[in-house]
Amino acid sequence: MPKSSPATGSTRLRADDWVERGLALLMTEGLGAIKISRLCRDLGVTKGSFYWHFSDVDSLMGAIAERWCTRTREELSRLHKVQGLPPLERIRLMGLRLVDEPSEHVERALREWAVHDSDVAAVLRETEQFIFEVVHDALVELGYDEEAARLRAGLLVYAGIGFAYGQQALPKPTAKDINDLVGFIAGDVAR
């Protein structure tokens, strides 16, 4: 949020304001929406304000990447709490995140961004590995042997990635679709 100067009553943006707006655009419209002119228009300021905080759009993108990476790591830390849930509930909870409106936009944007940014790519890999492990461990708890759990966890994780990409051309999955998929993958052990 911009800070108001007591001396002049004017509002001055902080670097955080630019980063937050850029991150919001990334999440809602994708990587291509992050342009200096667009940010200036959205924030109601001139380009001089942008250049007060950042040397160029790449430096802003670095700050956005850093913010996203920090938040993602914090979220992964909170997700460790799902380990206490029953196995099928853990898998469903992870799957339902895929049909969350902001998640679908972020997933596509981040994968596009990760192609060009090694920090974002590293956090994306870390996130995918964590999700795979949660699903895998839940399937082992349900009674699958190691190989079957690995294959099923892979199918669910890859399906999740496909859901994120396919939503532009294919029917959008619903919460029921996620529950049905989880039931299909885990059904033969859920006695």
Listed range (11-15, 154-158, 165-169) with the worst mean pLDDT = 165-169
Mean pLDDT of 21-33: 87
The pLDDT value recorded for residue 167 is 65
The pLDDT value recorded for residue 7 is 36
Set out the domains of the chain in order of their start, with CATH numbers.
1-67 (1.10.10.60), 85-191 (1.10.357.10)
The pLDDT value recorded for residue 10 is 45
Helix and strand element counts for the chain (H, E): 9, 2
Identify the residue with better confidence: 71 or 115.
115
Given a cut of 80, is residue 96 above it in pLDDT?
no
Residue 171 tokens, joined: 């029917």
**Nearest to residue 68, comparing CAs of 1, 5, 113?**
113
Average pLDDT of the residues of the chain = 81
Most confidently modeled range among 99-103, 117-121, 122-126, 144-148: 144-148
Most confidently modeled range among 30-39, 65-74, 123-132: 30-39
Residue 34, amino acid: I
